[in-house]
Amino acid sequence: MRFGSQLEINLSALEKNHQKIKAICKSNEMIFMVKADAYGHGLVPITQFSFHELKIKEFGVASLGEAMTLRAKLPRDQFEIYVFSDVNFRDERLIEVYANQRLIPVISSIDNLKIFLSNSEFRHVPLCLKFNTGMNRLGIEMNELEDVVHHLKMNGRKSIDHLMTHLACASLSIKKNKKNIEQFENFEEVKSSLKTSGISISKTSIANSGAIEQGAGLNESHIRPGLMMYGPSSLIPSIKETSLWTGELISTLKTRILRTRLIERGTPIGYGASACPGSGLVAIMALGYGDGFSTSNQGAELKFRDKNYKVVGRVNMDMTQLLLEGGVLGDINVDDDFTVWSPESENFDELCKRSKMIPYEVFTSLTTRISKNYIQ
């Protein structure tokens, strides 16, 4: 039974994607990125399945809040959670949370490193440092390397548990793109400078999905895939054919047809009374921008049962008009399911292309109005 539009999530497909990544990354450990509600697929169920069934033991989230949600739901001592961006050491009480809940803050600034090293609460928390090798978002700067060594030594730390950096252009060629080449070189420099200064490093990582798809960054101990676990490639179309990735979308977005009507080209339709661009059958689906189906999807062509439905007129809050050009009554009926995207169609790619939204954004735009159903 379904009370509205639904995202069906196939956990077996997640398992297959995981196996495919392991086949590419034979000797790497994995931090599975489950931030932003597991890229819109549900933080807790996705992580629970990945932990219990796929035996993944390290997860990456963005904020302390996401990390605490996971700690409350999974066996406490058996897996690591890295907090990547909204680390937040402003408040002493938050610092205690890291220690008490065994969470690993990814330290991306000298200021936070100083707090980490000087605070006794962090004595038993693994030290994870992220360097800015050229993305210029978060990260300790390359010219702060000496400072880092100084502060580590001053505080009696001779080792880093995990050293990482993040790529700005992993969707472009790793071998040819200047920024990628520069970032890989800079990361080598960070590693070797630290080692030369007597700091040992246990784990390292650089590769997100784009790099993994290109077989890059696999000489580090860890990889950090996000998007590819949920199916899509993150490479730009012109280099997609070079990708090693053959993953499958793990989700199917289903909605319902509320009304159908025959229509003549030029007939006003929906808010703003836009002229219908063709004649045929219009079907109103129960999905709109309030569900995360963006207004910029207008014009997208969605394939369903071998027919092309075009998004016409304005996308409404909870409804959208679909035109089946040349369609007749009965081609699709009130109460029929309509599959917006699934692994079997190209609709997901079409929506990304039409809306100019990246797959990450399409997934994470889905709102709580869309229920989730996990199948295996």
Ligand X SMILES: Cc1ncc(COP(=O)(O)O)c(C=O)c1O
Strand partners, 63: 86
Q: By CB under 6 A, which span of 189-197, 203-211, 283-291, 346-354 interacts with ligand X?
A: 203-211
For ligand X, give the closer residue by CB, 213 or 325.
213
Of 7-15, 172-180, 207-215, 344-352: span binding ligand X (CB under 6 A): 207-215
CB distance 32 to 82 below 8 Å:
no
> For the window 228-247, what string marks contact with ligand X as x by the rule CB under 6 A?
------x-------------
Q: What angle do CA 275, 277, 283 make, to 5 degrees?
A: 90
Residue pointed to by tokens 């699709």: 332
Query: By rule CB under 6 A, what count of residues binds ligand X?
Result: 11
Q: Is 208 in the site for ligand X (CB under 6 A)?
A: yes
Give first-to-last CA distance, the chain, whole Å.
Answer: 17
Site string for ligand X, 16-55 (x = CB under 6 A): -----------------x----------------------
Does 84 contact ligand X by CB under 6 A? Answer: yes
Residue 183 in the binding site for ligand X (CB under 6 A): no
Q: Contacts from 213-217 at CB under 8 Å and sequence distance 24+? A: 213/24, 213/243, 213/244, 213/245, 214/173, 214/174, 214/175, 214/242, 214/243, 214/244, 215/24, 215/244, 216/174, 216/175, 216/180, 216/184, 217/174, 217/184
Nearer to ligand X, 128 or 311 (CB): 128
Out of 18, 162, 166, 254, the residue judged to bind ligand X by CB under 6 A: 166
The binder of ligand X chosen from 112, 209, 214, 260 (CB under 6 A): 209
Point out the residue whose Cβ comes nearest to ligand X.
Answer: 226
**168/178 Cα distance (integer angstroms):** 11
Joined tokens for residue 107: 């330290």
Q: What is the rounded CA–CA span in Å between residue 213 and residue 359? A: 16
Give the nearest distance from C-beta 338 to ligand X in angstroms: 28
Instruction: Determine phi and psi for 129, rounding to 5 degrees.
Output: -115, 135
Contact positions toward ligand X, by CB under 6 A? 33, 84, 166, 208-210, 224-227, 234
